[in-house]
Amino acid sequence: MSSRLVRLVADVLELPVDQVDAQTGPATTAAWVSLRHLQIVVAVEDAYRISLTPREIRTVRSVGDLRALLAQRGVPE
């Protein structure tokens, strides 16, 4: 799963791409702390030219959640 989103999250978390998948999130990845969460949100907003709502930002718990948000908005990954 080496998508643009995965590469973006891997870059922010400073992890190899092969260590990032749909389940990667704060519960499974020590590097995904609150500051990194905000950095991921900003990177996603910049890369995909979208704005996430405060509710969306709070509910994102994994790369899979981010992927679902992009799909809901019709944003190609």
Taking a C-beta distance cutoff of 8 angstroms, is the pair 44, 55 a contact?
A: no
pLDDT tens across the length of the chain (77 residues):
459 999 999 999 999 999 999 999 999 999 999 999 999 999 999 999 999 999 999 999 999 999 999 999 999 87
Q: What single DSSP character describes residue 18? A: G
Give the residue extent of every domain in the chain: 4-72
- Res 76: pLDDT: 84
CATH of domain 4-72: 1.10.1200.10
From the list 28, 37, 24, the residue with the least C-alpha distance to 67 is 24
- Res 2: pLDDT: 55
Instruction: Give the max Cα distance, the chain.
Output: 30
- Res 1: pLDDT: 45
CA 32 to chain centre: 10
